[in-house]
Amino acid sequence: MSEKQTQKEQQTWAFHRNINSLGIVTTLIALISMFMVPLGLAWYFDIDFSIGNALLASTSLLAIYFPMAVAENISFYSVLGAGGMYLGSITGNILNLKLPVVVSAQKIVGVEPGTEEGDVVSIIAVGVSSLVTVVILFLGMALIGTWLVPILNHPVVKPGFDNVTPALLGAIAIPQFLSDKKLSITPVALVLLILLILGADGYGSYQSYILLGVMAVSVSVAYILYRNNLLDYEE
Q: What is the pLDDT of residues 202-226, one digit of tens each?
A: 888 788 788 888 888 988 988 888 8
pLDDT, averaged across the chain: 84
In a domain, 41, yes or no: no
pLDDT tier for residue 235 given thresholds of 50, 70 and 90: very low
pLDDT at 125: 95
In a domain, 38, yes or no: no
Q: What is the DSSP letter of 110?
A: T
Q: Looking at the predicted structure, is the pLDDT value of residue 234 above 70? A: no
Same domain assignment for residues 196 and 103: no
Same domain assignment for residues 109 and 160: yes
- For a pLDDT cut of 70, what percent of the chain falls above it? 94
User: For residues 181 and 144, what is the distance between their CA atoms, to the nearest angstrom?
Assistant: 45
pLDDT tens digits, one per residue of 21-48 = 999 999 999 999 988 988 888 888 888 8
Same domain assignment for residues 57 and 159: yes
pLDDT tens digits, one per residue of 105-147 = 999 999 988 888 999 999 999 999 999 988 887 877 776 666 7
From 131, 161, 179, give the residue that closes a domain.
179
pLDDT at 123: 94
Q: Looking at the predicted structure, is the pLDDT value of residue 185 above 60? A: yes
Give the total number of structural domains in the chain. 2
Give first-to-last CA distance, the chain, whole Å.
20
- CA dihedral defined by 138, 139, 140, 146, rounded to 10 degrees? 120
Same domain assignment for residues 192 and 152: no
Cα–chain center distance at 234: 29
From 179, 196, 213, give the residue that closes a domain.
179
Q: What is the pTM of this model?
A: 0.70
Same domain assignment for residues 132 and 201: no
Same domain assignment for residues 84 and 125: yes
In a domain, 36, yes or no: no
CA angle 54, 60, 63 (to 5 degrees): 120
Please check whether residue 58 is in contact with residue 66, taking contact to mean a CB–CB distance below 8 angstroms. no
HSE-up (13 A, CA, CB side) for residue 28: 5
Same domain assignment for residues 150 and 126: yes
Q: What is the DSSP letter of 229?
A: T
Same domain assignment for residues 173 and 191: no
Which domain range does residue 220 map to? 180-235
